[in-house]
Structure 1
Amino acid sequence: MRNIRKRKSMLLAVSMLAGTMLFGSAGSSYAATSVGALAEASQMKNASIANLDNDTRTFKVDKDIEAKNVRFQNRYGFEVAGHMYLPKGFDKNKKYKAVVITGPFGAVKEQASGLYAQEMAKNGYVAVAFDQSMTGESSGERRNMASPDIFTEDYSAAVDFVSNLKFVDADRIGAVGICGLSGMALTAASNDTRIKAVATSAMYDMSESISDHYKGDYYTPEQREAVKKHLAKMRDIEAKEGRFIAGAHEMAVDAEGSVQTYSTMFPDKLPEGVSPVIQQFYDYYVGRAYHPRAINSNTLAWDATAAYGFFNFSLMENIKEISPRPVLFITGENAHSKYFADAAYEKANSPKEEIVVPGANHCDLYDQMDKIPFDRLVKFFDDNMK
């Protein structure tokens, strides 16, 4: 375990050094907007805006785009941590369109959501990438915990924040969900009419994936019962001992009916013959986008009871109610997750659009600039938030 942490610390140090040397994150070319001016433009109580110090973003930082640290509360009292990206040539006296972005499930704002936010800012949007409650820099005494309800609420809290900025047009706000936060983005949009358009990329429906497993055909009734008994046991142990227990958020059941779980997301080195999907996740989270606050990069998995809420809360029950507001689904031709985007597209009412990126796998849509159709993503919001 010590060697794993040492290796990952070295990876982060190299990443930070590369960011400073190659991407200019330490010496930006823009004329920085003062935090005071931004704070004065905020009408939301229990929110703050600060300079982005100790920059640990894992993607190529555009030196012409300002990013600020922001904090705001959701209605459950969790403090949500985010990065706010400002358009090039930002003028606090103008009115901008805005988007709120999070995901993937178990990632942090310094990874894929930050890249998407930066690209939207490059195209004239105020964009906020945020950590889900109880993960990353967001608050929550229980760490590495997941909740479909609270994660959905985080989207509306982000809308609270941007809609109360005087330089944002509150009638032109969109949402983007990446991977496992796509279902929460769609669920938030089905109820929160302030979200005028919603897009997903590399979509996962985490309720289905966790409670039924891939394509809904994994668990037999007996296997589902075994998983539920395992979760109840984990709850009981944590309640008795008052401690965190790491465990899998998605669990297999073997031929003998035993639940298979794990305490770390990835080993130090993948075994021979691992599936291409696991390899793709490993290459992203432990390799090119390693970040110590990301659950998917770290040496500890989710809380052992993280799956609990996904058996209770089915996401996207009201997806049809997003209409007449538009929905965009971006998926990869070779993405193992394409099933989720296809299914959600079929469930949604018009107006809706699905983009299938030729040759792209699931993790390509996290950070591969030649695969992510940012031009079409921007056009979608431009056309639908005029």
Structure 2
Amino acid sequence: MSNYIFELSDKITRKSVSYNNRFGIKIAADLYLPKDFEESKEHAAIIIGSPYGGVKEQGAGIYAQNMAERGFVALTFDPSYNGYSGGEPRHLSSPDLFVEDFSAAVDYVGTRPFVDRNQIGAIGMCGSGGFAISAAQVDRRIKAVATVSMYDISRVAANGWMDSLTKEERNGMLDVIAEQRYVDFEAGQPTLAHRGAPIGFDENTDPIGREFGEFYSTPRGYHPNSITQFTVTSSMSFMNFPLLTHIKSISPRPILFIMGEQAHSRYFSEDAYELAAEPKELYVVPNTGHVDLYDKTDLIPFDKLEAFFMEYLK
């Protein structure tokens, strides 16, 4: 059972596909096509990455379906070592791997005869926003990037929430991770970090944790492959490899940053917008939080996304 959190539209066709990334890991993906699709013509394609800890059957699939309804070829995938994609040990996380997954998706769609290689864009949700931008920094085949409720996972890992981590606290975290490596090595398997989306939350739960719990830990967004946990030692890589170092190099390809007006994460989009070169746009969705833009189709600005990619994927 794939347990999609949304109903399949009668306007599109969804195909389960797979392909290898450059590390040789088999990626499980879904290809969304309009029902009236003409395979004899070349079309624009959009790759959609899931929120950090999410899988293709959740919000990314909602985005893929809606963009396919608007005439685009849309592909969403499970990250390496997660979901139905390959890779052992499970639930590993890595900036290099997760950025590579976007380029591997470009490899796949760009070799479909019905896709125009010069018309490939990307949408990154939450943590995938940082991965999509990072991929576009070095993969010039990605002609336009949009982020939704962006998180920069490398910034959180290195600096803490709202950059509040002191040098002593950071060193303490690295000491804990170093000791965990010994434990994992001797056990022959890695230990998972605490669940990012709590189960059994209430009004006393941390508001950010509760917001994630209301999605991932309830029927609204639950999927058995989306446990919102990664290996403890995964954070070491993110602390050492910042994702957005070369964001200015994406120009003159455009970046669209979409964020909720009330999102706890809005500072990531605002700061990345300031760092990016033109053309760029920061689009604020009124009266909307971070997770609202995962699945609430009445709030997600699909018209804005359609207009953005119609303009820049030419």
Q: Normalising by structure 1, what TM-score?
A: 0.79
Alignment of 1:256-271 (within 5 A): 262=194, 264-271=195-202
* Aligned residue identity for 2:189: R
1:38 aligned partner = none
- Which residue of 1 is the match for residue 269 of structure 2? 341
Q: State the aligned residue count.
A: 313
What is residue 366 of structure 1 aligned with on the other side? Answer: 294
Deviation at 1:138, TM superposition (A): 0.7
Matches within 5 A, 1:57-76: 57-76=4-23
What is residue 162 of structure 1 aligned with on the other side? 109
1:200 to 147, 158, 171: 147
Matched, 1:282 2:213: yes
> Is the 8 Å Cα contact of residues 88 and 124 (structure 1) preserved in structure 2?
no
- Counterparts of 1:131 and 1:55, CA distance in 2: 12
Is 1:224 equivalent to 2:170 in the alignment?
yes
- Tell me, in whole angstroms, the C-alpha distance in 2 between the residues paired with 1:123 and 1:90: 11
Structure 2 runs not aligned, ≥5 long: none
Q: Spell out, residue by residue over 1:213-257, the C-alpha distance to the aligned partner (whole angstroms, 9 max, x if none).
A: 1221x211110000000111111111122123121xxxxxxxxxx
Residue type at the aligned position of 2:242: S
| TM-superposition CA deviations, 1:320-343 (whole Å, max 9, x none) | 000000000000000000000000
Distance, in Å, in 1 between the alignment partners of 2:53 and 2:38 is 34
Letter in 2 for 1:351: P
Aligned-pair RMSD on alpha carbons?
1.2
> Is the CA contact 2:197–2:210 (under 8 Å) kept in the aligned structure 1?
no
Aligned partners of 1:140 and 1:314: how far apart in 2? 23
**Quick check: 1:295 aligned with 2:238?**
no
Judging changes above 3 Å, is the alpha-carbon distance between structure 1 residues 271 and 56 closer, same or farther for their aligned structure 2 residues?
A: closer
Q: Is the 8 A contact 2:49 2:76 kept in 1?
A: yes
Structure 1 unaligned spans of 5+: 1-53, 248-261
Between the aligned partners of 1:186 and 1:223, the Cα distance in structure 2 is: 28
2:292 partner letter: D
Secondary structure of the 2:189 match is coil
Distance 1:267 1:106, change over 3 A: closer
Q: How does 1:1-386 map to 2 (within 5 A)?
A: 54-216=1-163, 218-247=164-193, 262=194, 264-287=195-218, 288-296=220-228, 301-386=229-314
Whole-Å Cα distance in 2 between the matches of residues 223 and 360 of structure 1? 33
Residues of 1 paired with 2:274 and 2:134: CA distance?
A: 16
Shift in Å at residue 140 of structure 1? Answer: 0.5
Deviation at 1:90, TM superposition (A): 1.2
Query: What TM-score do the two structures reach when normalised by structure 2?
Result: 0.97
Partners of 1:357 and 1:268 lie apart in 2 by: 28
Q: Partner of 1:302: helix, strand, or coil?
A: coil
The answer to whether the 8 Å contact 1:59/1:289 transfers is: no
Partners of 2:198 and 2:212 within 8 A in 1: no
Task: Classify 1:87/1:314 alpha carbon distance in 2 versus 1 (closer, same or farther; 3 Å).
Answer: same
Larger radius of gyration: 1
Could you say what secondary structure the match of 2:217 adopts? helix
Q: Deviations over 1:47-80 (max 9, x none)?
A: xxxxxxx442112321221001111111111111
Question: Which has the bigger relative contact order, CA under 8 A and spacing at least 6?
Answer: 2
Counterpart of 1:307 in 2: which secondary structure? helix
Letter in 1 for 2:14: A
Contact 1:98 1:172 in 2 (8 A): yes
Which range moved further: 235-244 or 365-374?
235-244
Q: Distance in 1 between matches of 2:212 and 2:187?
A: 33
Moved over 4 A (4+): none
Tell me how far apart the structure 1 counterparts of residues 189 and 252 of structure 2 sit (CA, whole Å).
46
Percent identity between the two aligned chains:
44
